[in-house]
A and B are shown apart, each in its own frame.
Chain A
Amino acid sequence: QKEVEQNSGPLSVPEGAIASLNCTYSDRGSQSFFWYRQYSGKSPELIMFIYSNGDKEDGRFTAQLNKASQYVSLLIRDSQPSDSATYLCAVPANQAGTALIFGKGTTLSVSS
């Protein structure tokens, strides 16, 4: 069974710092990787996805993928209190890629 591992945290960073969130996955055949953000009491929402090795940047967010090490990370630059949330890493559950398997999430707290 596929597994996605994340450090549950909490990860605490001061406002303006870089927050680094990490995720490892068990299936070497996984091709795509997703980062969802979930605010307290809300549903998850997609913030980044990445298919290829290397970095993908979107505003203050950078996803980094290393397939050889089976490792994907999310960097948040210039962290803001509004970034305080739980961040979920996910990979496809099957070859068709229809369903996703989620890690348990890392809780990020950004202090002002």
Chain B
Amino acid sequence: DVKVTQSSRYLVKRTGEKVFLECVQDMDHENMFWYRQDPGLGLRLIYFSYDVKMKEKGDIPEGYSVSREKKERFSLILESASTNQTSMYLCAGRGQGNTGELFFGEGSRLTVL
């Protein structure tokens, strides 16, 4: 199985700060994803990456950017955090098999004040 590790479980930031959310997977696999999860809105795809330096926008990319400099690391960046970006952020990696299974990290709970 793919093990996905998110560096911060809880973060509190102020409006306008630049925020980095880090995610590392322990398998040599191309596909990684960032979702956010909010009550009543479910899991929404922000960005995903299918290879180093490659990225694709998901459904809600506005206000976010990503970085994939190494295959095992996929970072989500909030250039100027806003209160509506307070959320649970989930990173996922795709398993090697053809089931399409995503393996999720434990999540990063971000609060923007």
State the A residues within 8 Å of B (CB): 1, 8, 32, 34, 42-46, 49, 88, 92-93, 96-105
- From B11-19, B39-47, B64-72, the one touching the partner chain is B39-47
Q: How many pairs of A and B residues are in contact by the CB < 8 Å rule?
A: 54
Could you tell me if A1 and B59 are in contact, using CB atoms closer than 8 angstroms?
Answer: yes
Cα–Cα distance between A103 and B41 once the two chains are bound (Å): 9
Could you tell me if A99 and B101 are in contact, using CB atoms closer than 8 angstroms?
Answer: no
Which of A88, A97, A103, A104 contacts B100 (CB under 8 A)? A97
Interface size bracket, B side = 20 to 34
Could you tell me if A93 and B45 are in contact, using CB atoms closer than 8 angstroms?
Answer: yes
Q: How far is the CB of A52 from chain B (nearest CB, A)?
A: 14
Which of A46, A98, A103, A105 contacts B48 (CB under 8 A)? A98
Given contacts A44-B90, A49-B100, A100-B102, 16 further A-B pairs with CB under 8 A are A1-B59, A8-B40, A34-B100, A43-B105, A43-B106, A44-B43, A44-B102, A46-B102, A49-B101, A88-B42, A92-B100, A93-B58, A99-B33, A99-B56, A104-B42, A105-B42
